[in-house]
A and B are shown apart, each in its own frame.
Chain A
Amino acid sequence: MPGGAAQRLVGAAGCEMDIAASKERAQELAGHGDLLAFLPLIMAIVSLASLLLLVQTSRVATAGYDIRRLEQLRESWRQRNYELDVEVSRLQSLERVETEARSRFHMVEPSGYVYVAVDTPPPVRAEVAPETTGWDESEPSVKISKHWWEAFFRPIFSR
């Protein structure tokens, strides 16, 4: 029967189509297999990035606290300086100097002033040579190496 032959033909053709689809599917699966192979790597990268972010954030937080602590410390020292300024001023005050002079050193106010008239003129101030700084400005005896290998080998070859 011609109708039956046609069905077979169709059946044969359908079978051929199934095989082609299966091949495509197989190829697709093979592609997914490649992706799956990269998945752990991607996850590792993401994890690492997250970890880095966490570490970074943590470090920023720690640094922030450190900066704040150091700022407080700096402020504390600054205030201490101001306090010391007040203390120095109090110790230098005329009232305190006078009290110390009277009580500790038993000093009294002068009843008069002695002026000594001298006939001889005051000595002429001698010209004083400027003081040296102690810095030797002559050429250094050891020549400084220009290259790192010279510095590296000098201890070996020089005695």
Chain B
Amino acid sequence: MMLLASSTLALVARLANLQIMQHDQYAAQARSEHWSRDKVPAHRGAIRDRNGYALAITATTYDLYLKPKVSGPVTAANTAKALAPLIDVPPEKIMATLTGEDKGKALVAANISYATGEKIRSMGLPGVEAVEKVRRFYPEGNLGSTLMGFVGKDGNGLTGAEESLDGDLAGIAGLLVYERDSTGEPIPLGINSLTPPEAGADVYLTIDRYIQRLAERELDKAMEKHKASGGTIIVMDPKTGELLAMASRPAFDLTKIETDLAQLNPKDSKQVALFRNRAVADVYEPGSTFKIITMASAVNEGLVNANTTYYDGGPVNKYGWNIDTWNGKHFGQETMTQLLQHSNNVGAVWVSDRLGTDRFYKYVRLFGFGQATNVGLAGEGRGQVRYPTEAGWYPVDLAVNSFGQGISVTPLQMITAASAVANGGSLMQPYVVKRIEGPRGTRSFSPVPVRRVVSEATSRTLREMLTKVAEGENTVLPLAAVPGYKVAGKTGTASIPGPGGYTSAATIASFIGFGPSDNPRFIILVKIDEPQDSPWGSLVASPIFSSIAKQTFAYLQIPPTDTALALANR
């Protein structure tokens, strides 16, 4: 009797423990087994160029796998017969895989259309597995890879515009809550509720796919011709700050991104560097292209004009450092325009002396060096400027900074600053997104003037001076000229600093130019890293500018200034 009573008491206690004390825990477990909450992924928006052509676009496809030895030969034959016409694979091949040696499931067809994949899945063929896969397609191939970036396996943007604009592109995932049976399948008459996903927005870049391809082709050709270690080409509308093209090399291949990522070794800096957008992330010493900034500052301060002369009597010594011209030649008395045409370092030092430390660095700051441009792309560099108030600045820095050494800038900063000189004096914020069209409406982006840097008059003077530099008689090599058109620009050949000072042989050859000179529609920065055949910007970068400018004039339907000359150079 006692035994019965104590057993009953124990049973009651256990029941009380389960149903009262542990109620919440078991109730939660029951709910989790009974209710299922599935995330419904949103369709990722497309990245398009300024004219609406898709550069990256998403669609759902199926990959088809076969598992050997799941069925007998007769069933396998029937499966092969049913499957072959759907995936355009010979039935013999399917049969061989299904009846062959069991080495795990084998991929027999990739990127099958959604409808075909669904059909195959509904057929329930033994040994056949159709796996749904959301894929990012690149209709223009590897165009603008470092600019656009890529998405990871989970569909999130990892670099470039895919990363920077992920919030707009990704959309909002939906949620499906439903009752499920013991096998995990939804109960047909059970309660279910779906919060539908919201598709991501389509992003329209300011990039023009034609100009982008033009820039990339020219860059690839130059890389091969000059056996360069890298390079960047940026094309921009100087009046608005819209980026029309942004190419950098070396770069990863968008069309092979899945396999490349699978083989990526994160510790290999060379491999990782392929994913960097060098146009916004890398810094370099701009060399003589920086003379545009030095000269614009002095003209704007009223210290010099195009015809102001100075005397170049040989190398100058500044605080113990000997500063010479790039080729050791000296020109005696020359004008400011000739200074730019000869790319005279001694002259640049003379101009910086007239400007003085305060005014020179005031303009360096005004032109936006040492600050991010806020272009809206991930990984943007700020450059490196040593100001007189900072530790590590030496008086000689003013002299060498005047011709673009001892100061580091990003290619994007440099072209943005040069745009201000070309467009009438306003520093424009560069931007890469033209508009975003999504389920919640359209957002358009307008040009943003940051500040006025130089006057209209200064801009006009510099445009005229730089036109003479690009195509004038006194220019060392007028390889930047475009027959029939007036273009303006400046070469740059910069030494590359290393841990032990400047390397002797390696240079960065560059050119910044715009056209038409009097009313610029585009500005182009060409930067070639470590060209092996010639170190000079005039020989390496100027012809690239000329080629891109010539084709861009035609593409943008800009009539030539001199029709006769254009016809003569057919």
Closest 4 CB pairs of A and B: A112-B570, A89-B139, A89-B54, A79-B114
Min CB–CB distance B159 → chain A (angstroms): 22
Within 8 A of A (CB), among B120-144: 137, 139-141, 143
With both chains docked as a complex, state the minimum distance between the C-beta of B209 and any C-beta of chain A, in angstroms.
Answer: 6
Q: Which of A84-109 contact B (CB under 8 A)?
A: 85-86, 89-90, 92-95
Query: Is B118 positioned at the interface, with any CB of A under 8 Å from its CB?
Result: yes
Between A and B, 5 residue pairs with Cβ closer than 8 Å are A86-B54, A93-B139, A112-B567, A115-B484, A115-B567
Which of A79, A85, A110, A112 makes the CB contact (< 8 A) with B569? A112
In the bound complex, do residue A82 and residue B60 qualify as a contact, i.e. CB atoms below 8 Å apart?
yes
- Given contact pairs A79-B60, A86-B59, a sample of 10 additional A-B residue pairs in the complex whose CB atoms are under 8 Å apart: A79-B114, A82-B43, A83-B113, A86-B139, A90-B137, A93-B140, A94-B209, A115-B559, A115-B567, A117-B563
A contact residues around B59 at 8 Å (CB): 79, 82-83, 85-86
Contacts of A60 on B, CB cut-off 8 Å? 189
Determine whether B188 belongs to the interface, using a CB cutoff of 8 Å to chain A.
yes
Counting CB contacts under 8 A, is B57 at the interface?
Answer: yes
A108-147 residues with Cβ-Cβ distance < 8 A to B are 110-115, 117
Chain B residues within 8 Å of A111, by CB: 570
Contact assessment for A86 and B137 in the assembled complex, using a CB-CB cutoff below 8 Å: yes
A79-B114, A80-B114 known; A115-B139 Cβ under 8 A: no
Asked whether A65 lies within 8 Å of B209 as measured between CB atoms, the reply is no
Q: Are B118 and A82 in contact, CB atoms less than 8 angstroms apart?
A: no
Counting CB contacts under 8 A, is B371 at the interface? no
B241 CB to nearest A CB, Å:
25
Cross-chain contact of B560 among A65, A85, A92, A115 (Cβ < 8 A): A115
Q: Is the CB of B210 within 8 A of A94?
A: yes
Complex Cα distance, B357 from A8, in Å, reads: 148
Q: Indicate if the CB atoms of B566 and A95 lie closer than 8 Å.
A: no
A83 to B139 Cα, complex, angstroms: 12
Answer yes or no: A31 CB below 8 A from chain B CBs. no
Digitize B41-61: 1 where CB-to-A-CB distance is under 8 Å, 0 elsewhere.
Answer: 001001000000110011111
Q: Are A82 and B58 in contact (CB under 8 A)?
A: yes
- Known: A61-B188, A61-B189, A86-B57. Is A113-B566 also a contact (CB below 8 A)? yes
Contact B141 A95 (CB under 8 A): yes
- A92–B143 alpha-carbon span in the complex (Å): 14
* Min distance, Cβ B426 to any Cβ of chain A, angstroms: 31
The answer to whether residues A64 and B46 also contact, given A85-B59, A113-B566 and a CB cut-off of 8 A, is no
Residue of B with least CB distance to A92: B53
Q: How far is the CB of A116 from chain B (nearest CB, A)?
A: 8
Interface residues of B in 128-175 (CB under 8 A from A): 137, 139-141, 143
**Does A76 sit at the interface, judged by CB under 8 A?**
yes
Report B-chain residues with C-beta under 8 Å of the C-beta of A117.
563
Asked whether any CB of chain A lies closer than 8 Å to the CB of B386, the reply is no
Chain B's interface size range is 20 to 34
Complexed CA–CA distance, A87 and B293 (Å): 48
Please name the residue on chain B nearest to A111 by beta carbon.
B570
Q: Tell yes or no: B115 within 8 A of A by CB.
A: yes
Number of chain A residues whose Cβ lies closer than 8 Å to a Cβ of chain B: 25
Most B-side CB within 10 Å, residue of A61, A65, A89, A114: A89
Give the Cβ gap from A2 to chain B, nearest Cβ, in Å.
66
Q: How close is B427's CB to chain A, nearest CB, in angstroms?
A: 33
Contact A85 B563 (CB under 8 A): no
Closest beta carbon of chain B to A120's beta carbon, Å: 15
Check B554–A90 contact: CB distance below 8 A: no
Bitwise, A52-77 to B at CB < 8 A (1) or not (0) is 00000100110011000000000010
Q: Across the interface, do A115 and B114 meet the contact criterion of CB distance under 8 Å?
A: no
CB-CB < 8 A to B140: which residues of A?
93-95
Contact residues in A for B566 (Cβ distance below 8 Å):
112-113, 115
Contacts of A83 in B (CB 8 A): 59, 61, 113-114
* Contact yes or no, B188 A89, CB < 8 A: no
Residues of A within 8 Å of B61, CB to CB, are 83
B115: which A residues are within 8 A, CB to CB? 76, 79-80
CB of B213 within 8 A of chain A? yes
Contact status A114-B570, CB under 8 Å: yes
* Alpha-carbon gap, A93 to B118, bound state (A): 28
CB neighbours of A64 from chain B (8 A) = 188-189
A89 and B188 CA atoms in complex are apart in Å by 40
CB closest residue in chain B, given A57: B189
B188–A85 CB distance below 8 A:
no
Chain B residues with CB below 8 A from A113, complex form: 554, 566, 570
Question: Which residues does chain A contribute within 8 Å of B57, judged by CB atoms?
Answer: 82, 85-86, 89
Q: Are A90 and B570 in contact (CB under 8 A)?
A: no
Given contacts A113-B554, A115-B563, A115-B566, contact A90 B60 (CB under 8 A): no
Residues of A near B188 (CB, < 8 A) are: 61, 64-65
Q: How far is the CA of A112 from the CA of B46 in the complex (A)?
A: 36
Task: Tell me, rounded to whole Å, the shortest Cβ–Cβ distance linking A59 to chain B.
Answer: 12
Tell me if B118 and A92 are in contact (CB < 8 A): no
Chain B residue with the shortest CB-CB distance to A78: B43
Tell me, in angstroms, the Cα distance from A111 to B54 when the chains sit together: 29
Looking at the assembled complex, report how far the CB atom of A112 sits from the nearest CB atom of chain B, in whole angstroms: 3
B563 and A93 contacting across the interface, CB-CB below 8 Å: no
Give the nearest-CB partner of A79 in chain B: B114
- Name the CB-closest residue of A to B484: A115
